[in-house]
Chains A and B, each alone.
Chain A
Amino acid sequence: MAIHMSKKIKEGIIETSLFLCALSSVLITISIVIVLGYESYGFFKVVSLKEFLTEKEWTPLFFEPKFGILPLVTGTLLTTSIALLVALPLGLMVAVYLSEYAPHRMREIIKPVLELLAAVPTVVYGYFALLFLTPVLQKFLPDLSGFNALSPGIIMGIMIIPYVSSVSEDSMKAVPMHIKEGSYAMGATKLQTAFKVVIPAAFSGIAAAFIIGISRAIGETMVVAIAAGMMPNFSVNPLEPVQTLTAYIVQVSLGDVPHGTIEYKTIFAAGITLFMMTLVFNLIGFWLRKRIREVY
C-alpha cells in the first residue's frame, strides 16, 4: 500500500523549488540593503555624517564639493507635500463619492479610468508638467520659473489619486452594511453617515491609503526630473527650481561618472536616504493593513 517514494520525493522537490522562489523576495531586499550599504559606507568614510546631515549645500561635482543632503531632502519633501495636498483630499473625496454616492454603473466606468491614471508612464506626465502645466500656471503666477516644484507637485498629486482612492474605497466598502444602516435608520444623510460613521470605521484602511500615497510621492522620479529642474535648492518656495533625491540620482547616472569615485558613491548615499524614508512608511502601512484584516 506504499505510495511510491519517487512520488514523495517529487512532491518534496517541487515544494522546495517553490519555496526558493518565494524566498527570492527576501534575497532582493537583502541585496538592496547590501548594495546601498556597501557604497554608502564608502561614502561615509570620506564624508562625515555631521556634514551630510547639517551642511546646507549639495554640490558634489564642484571643485570644492559640499555634501549636505538637506537641499535634496527639502526638494523631495516640498514636491511630496504639494502632491499630497492635491492627492489626499481629492483621493478621499473620490473614495467617499464612489463608495457611498455613485450609482453602480458609474462606478463600473470610473474605476477602470482611474486605474488608467496610474498606468500612464511617468515620463509622459513629466512632459505634460513641463510643457503644458507650467506655461498654463505661468499665466496666473508670472513669477513661476520654468522649472519649479509646483507644477510637478500637482501632476504627481493627480497621478497618486488612484492609489489613495482605491485603497480608501475598499476599506470603506468593507464596513459592514448593518453599521451604515444603523446610521441611516436614525435619519442621517449620506454625508453624515460617510463622515461620522464610515470614515472612522475605515480609519486604518484610509490611513494605509495615505501612507501608500506618501511613499509613492517620495519615490517618484521622472516627473520631477523633467519638470522640477536639476538644481539643488534649500528652500521651500514652490515657484523655484528644486532637485529631489530621485532626480539627483538620474542626473548623475546620465553623466559620465566613473565607477568607484566619490561622486559615484553619492548616488548611493542619496539612495539609502530614500530607501530609509520609504521603508518607514511602508512598514507603517503594512502594519495598518494587517490590523484591518484582523478587525474584520
Chain B
Amino acid sequence: MVNETIKAEVKNLNFYYGDMHALTNINLSVAEKKVTALIGPSGCGKTTYLRCFNRMHDLYPHNKYTGEIMLHPDNINIISPNVDPIEVRMRISMVFQKPNPFPKSIFENVAYGLRVRGTSNRSLLSETVEKSLRGAALWDEVRDRLDKPAFDLSGGQQQRLCIARALATEPEILLFDEPTSALDPIATSKIEDLISELKKEVTILIVTHNMQQAARIADYTAFMYLGELIEFGDTDTIFVNPHNKLTEEYITGRFG
C-alpha cells in the first residue's frame, strides 16, 4: 500500500463475545477515500470486525475489545473505553444489510442524523437533505414526495435512502454491512455504481459475501477466516495472485 493516506489503522485487534474469542490479532490499514472490502465464509468474523468501527458492540452486554483502531489524522483510538461511542458514531456511519428506514417521512429519515446533532434550522436541513439524496442518487426519484412515508419506497430505494441518511452527517468513514444481499440485481448494480462514486468523498469499508462484488468495486480486499485476517492487499493481487493458500482456495470456490 504505497503512497496511500491511511485513514484508520487497526493494531492487534481482539474481540470477545463474552468468553468467545471472535476476532484474533487483526492488523490492517484502511486507506483513505478508497473502498476496502472484507470477504470470507459465513462466520469468519467480517461483520463482527466491521461493527467494531462504530462501536455497535457497545449496545450489548459482555462484549470486550482489546487492541487499537487508530483514527487519523487526530490519532485517536476509537475502541478505547475512554472514547465515547457516540462521538465515534458521529464520525463513522453505517448502512445495514436489510434496509431499515424509520417509519417516518423520507425527509425526516435523512434529517434525523442532523437533528441528533442539534440542527433544527429548516432551510439548513432542507439543503443537507437534498445534498445527501443527490449523493445517494435518489433525489430525482423522491424530490416531489419528501414528506411521504419512507416505507412506500421499493427495497432498492429504501437502501439508497439509508445511504443518504448515513451521508447527511458527513462521515469520515462509511461502513457497509452486506448492503446489497437483500436486493435484486438491478438495485444491486445501482448501489455498486453509487459506492464507486462515493469513494471520492469518503472512505468506505464494505463487508460482502459476494466475491464478484468485491472484485468489481473494491480497491483493497481483506480475506478473513475463523476470526483471523488471512490476507490483505490490493484487490487485483488478492484475486489474481493470492499469496496464501487458504485465500486461493476460497477464491476458487473450494469452500465457503
Residues of A at under 8 Å CB distance from B? 1-3
Chain B residues with CB below 8 A from A2, complex form: 87
Q: What is the CB-to-nearest-CB distance from B137 to chain A, in angstroms, rounded to a whole number?
A: 32
Contact bitstring B70-89, A, C-beta under 8 A = 1, else 0:
00001010000000101100
CA distance A1 to B76 in the complex (A): 10
CA distance A2 to B87 in the complex (A): 8
Q: Is the CB of B86 within 8 A of A3?
A: yes
Instruction: Identify whether the interface residues of B are mostly helix, strand, loop, or mixed.
Output: mixed
Chain A residues with CB below 8 A from B74, complex form: 1
CA distance A2 to B84 in the complex (A): 8
The 5 closest A-B pairs by CB, nearest first: A3-B84, A1-B87, A3-B87, A3-B86, A1-B76
CA distance A70 to B76 in the complex (A): 74
Chain B residues with CB below 8 A from A1, complex form: 74, 76, 87
> What would be 7 A-B contacts, judged by CB atoms less than 8 Å apart?
A1-B74, A1-B76, A1-B87, A2-B87, A3-B84, A3-B86, A3-B87
CA distance A3 to B84 in the complex (A): 8
Interface size class of B (residues with CB under 8 A): under 10
CA distance A1 to B86 in the complex (A): 11
Contact bitstring B48-84, A, C-beta under 8 A = 1, else 0:
0000000000000000000000000010100000001
Within 8 A of A (CB), among B68-125: 74, 76, 84, 86-87
Chain A residues with CB below 8 A from B87, complex form: 1-3
Q: What is the CB-to-nearest-CB distance from B59 to chain A, in angstroms, rounded to a whole number?
A: 15
Chain B residues with CB below 8 A from A3, complex form: 84, 86-87
Q: What is the CB-to-nearest-CB distance from B245 to chain A, in angstroms, rounded to a whole number?
A: 42
Contact bitstring B209-231, A, C-beta under 8 A = 1, else 0:
00000000000000000000000
CA distance A1 to B82 in the complex (A): 12
Chain A CB count within 10 A is highest, among B74, B76, B84, for B84
Q: What is the CB-to-nearest-CB distance from B87 to chain A, in angstroms, rounded to a whole number?
A: 6
CA distance A96 to B120 in the complex (A): 55
Closest to B74 in A: A1
CA distance A3 to B86 in the complex (A): 8
Q: What is the CB-to-nearest-CB distance from A10 to chain B, in angstroms, rounded to a whole number?
A: 13
Q: What is the CB-to-nearest-CB distance from A8 to chain B, in angstroms, rounded to a whole number?
A: 8
Q: What is the CB-to-nearest-CB distance from B84 to chain A, in angstroms, rounded to a whole number?
A: 5
Q: What is the CB-to-nearest-CB distance from B179 to chain A, in angstroms, rounded to a whole number?
A: 28
Closest to A11 in B: B86
Closest to A3 in B: B84
CA distance A1 to B87 in the complex (A): 7
CA distance A2 to B76 in the complex (A): 12
Closest to B84 in A: A3
CA distance A3 to B87 in the complex (A): 7
CA distance A1 to B84 in the complex (A): 10
Closest to B88 in A: A1
CA distance A2 to B86 in the complex (A): 10
CA distance A3 to B116 in the complex (A): 13
Closest to A1 in B: B87
Q: What is the CB-to-nearest-CB distance from B222 to chain A, in angstroms, rounded to a whole number?
A: 28
Q: What is the CB-to-nearest-CB distance from B116 to chain A, in angstroms, rounded to a whole number?
A: 11
Q: What is the CB-to-nearest-CB distance from B78 to chain A, in angstroms, rounded to a whole number?
A: 10
CA distance A181 to B56 in the complex (A): 40
Closest to B76 in A: A1
CA distance A201 to B38 in the complex (A): 45
CA distance A2 to B90 in the complex (A): 12
CA distance A31 to B242 in the complex (A): 72
Closest to A4 in B: B118
CA distance A211 to B25 in the complex (A): 54
CA distance A172 to B223 in the complex (A): 47
CA distance A234 to B152 in the complex (A): 68
Chain A residues with CB below 8 A from B84, complex form: 3
CA distance A155 to B76 in the complex (A): 71
Q: What is the CB-to-nearest-CB distance from B54 to chain A, in angstroms, rounded to a whole number?
A: 15
Closest to B83 in A: A1
Q: What is the CB-to-nearest-CB distance from B148 to chain A, in angstroms, rounded to a whole number?
A: 31
Chain A residues with CB below 8 A from B86, complex form: 3
Q: What is the CB-to-nearest-CB distance from B100 to chain A, in angstroms, rounded to a whole number?
A: 24
CA distance A152 to B120 in the complex (A): 62
Q: What is the CB-to-nearest-CB distance from B47 to chain A, in angstroms, rounded to a whole number?
A: 27
CA distance A295 to B160 in the complex (A): 40
Q: What is the CB-to-nearest-CB distance from A17 to chain B, in angstroms, rounded to a whole number?
A: 20
Chain A residues with CB below 8 A from B76, complex form: 1
CA distance A1 to B83 in the complex (A): 9
Closest to B91 in A: A1
